[in-house]
Amino acid sequence: MKKIKTCIFPVAGLGSRFLPATKSIPKEMLVVVDKPLIQYAVEEAKAAGIERFIFVTSQGKSAIEDHFDSSPVLEETLKKRGKVAEVERLEALRLDPGQAVYIRQHAPLGLGHAVLCAQHLVNEDAFALILADDLVLADEPCLQQMIQEYTPQDGNMVGVMEVPMEQTHRYGILDVLQHKGKKVLAQEVIEKPSLEKSPSNIAIIGRYILNQSIFNYLQNQIPGAGGEIQLTDAIQAMLKKVPLCGYRYKGHRFDCGTKEGWLEANLAFALEQPDLRINLQKNLQQYFPLNSGNQKECA
Ligand code: UTP
């Protein structure tokens, strides 16, 4: 089987849930501890063997392009000052010429439309897609887990997790036909169903391996939930011809498109770093005194 070498990163969304922080800074440039979200996404893709990086951007997102470009003045200055580690860190994040492509989505018409914008750049039978605002903390990077297990018979593969039933209206939800180890075969996918209409609590996260033919379906897709062209609607429309496989990845996913998720991710990723962990744990105790519940009761 041919390896998956291309990954699309849609980064053209409005980020309205994070305003005003995202007014002039792309949501994908929000920092978790010491790296922007989009860098975690690119590193995850690199670890999974991706060689072509397609960013679907929009007006006001040029910081993303700059982030993966060389910065001669900064690098020269750091070198002169003997800051070797810092220079190495900058060099490591650079994408080679020709590896990265930036295209524009002219209006935020939805995730499905953003993916469609990359159609003419994808030649392979299957390609990967990462939503950078879904950050996954895992021993083995999430996309790598999926690519290792993917076979063409899986059709479209989506990373999935279980969510509380009362949260299904925030996700694309699978109607599961069969469980096969870490894979689940779906017979339907519904975008943001209400609690009553939700067929399960198996929710899609921002990791996909998609069959090339999805572009044909996206071309004809009418706007769905939220008035946007939804990727899940196209996946659903394909189901008669292309199967849908959910993959239960190993790891913890943070929704960094929300304040709570982003704050939690900062804590979790900081606690992973030995130089931050001890002081952080100590300092956090003042915000969460162990007996605060009891004190309230006594007062
Ligand atoms: P979201 O659903 O999180 O939307 O997009 P958003 O616009 O970024 O944020 P809110 O809801 O206004 O707070 C999921 C992913 O799809 C991309 C986003 O950049 C994000 O990575 N996207 C979404 C696009 O590229 N284009 C779109 O038209 C919509």
User: Rounded mean pLDDT of the chain?
Assistant: 92
C-alpha 199/C-alpha 243 separation (Å) is 18
For the chain, the domains span 6-273
Rama region for 251: left / alpha / beta (φ>0; ψ in -120 to 50; rest) = left
In ligand 1, the atom with minimum distance to the C-alpha of 133 is: 21
Choose between 257 and 96: higher pLDDT.
Answer: 257
**Mean pLDDT (whole number) for 271-275:** 92
Distance (angstroms) between ligand 1 centre and the Cα of 110 equals 7
C-alpha 153/C-alpha 126 separation (Å) is 11
Band of pLDDT at residue 233, cut at 50, 70 and 90: very high
Distance (angstroms) between ligand 1 centre and the Cα of 1 equals 32
In ligand 1, the atom with minimum distance to the C-alpha of 110 is: 28
**Measuring from atom 9 of ligand 1, which residue has the nearest CA?**
15
Minimum mean pLDDT among 61-65, 73-77, 91-95, 137-141: which range? 91-95
- Report percent pLDDT > 70 for the chain: 96
In ligand 1, the atom with minimum distance to the C-alpha of 107 is: 28
In ligand 1, the atom with minimum distance to the C-alpha of 17 is: 13
Band of pLDDT at residue 3, cut at 50, 70 and 90: confident
Report residue 73 as tokens: 């003045």
Residue among 230, 133, 149 nearest 190 (CA): 230
Distance (angstroms) between ligand 1 centre and the Cα of 76 equals 36
Distance (angstroms) between ligand 1 centre and the Cα of 218 equals 17
| pLDDT greater than 50 at residue 297 | no
**Mean pLDDT (whole number) for 101-112:** 95
pLDDT of 291 reads 58
End-to-end CA distance of the chain: 67
Residue among 119, 105, 95 nearest 42 (CA): 95
3-class state of residue 274 by DSSP: helix
pLDDT of 97 reads 82
Matching CATH number, 6-273, of 3.30.70.270, 3.40.640.10, 3.90.550.10, 3.40.720.10: 3.90.550.10
pTM: 0.93
| pLDDT greater than 80 at residue 288 | no
Q: What residues are in contact with ligand 1 under a 6 Å CB criterion?
A: 10-17, 27, 56, 105, 108-111, 113-114, 131-133, 257
**Measuring from atom 5 of ligand 1, which residue has the nearest CA?**
13
**Mean pLDDT (whole number) for 60-66:** 92
Spell out the long-range contacts of 178-183 with Cβ–Cβ below 8 A and sequence spacing 24 or more.
182/149, 182/247, 182/248, 182/249, 183/149, 183/154, 183/245, 183/246, 183/247, 183/248
Minimum mean pLDDT among 46-50, 62-66, 68-72, 103-107: which range? 68-72
Q: What is the pLDDT of residues 165-187, one digit of tens each?
A: 999 999 999 999 999 999 999 99
CB distance 126 to 6 below 8 Å? no
| pLDDT greater than 50 at residue 299 | no
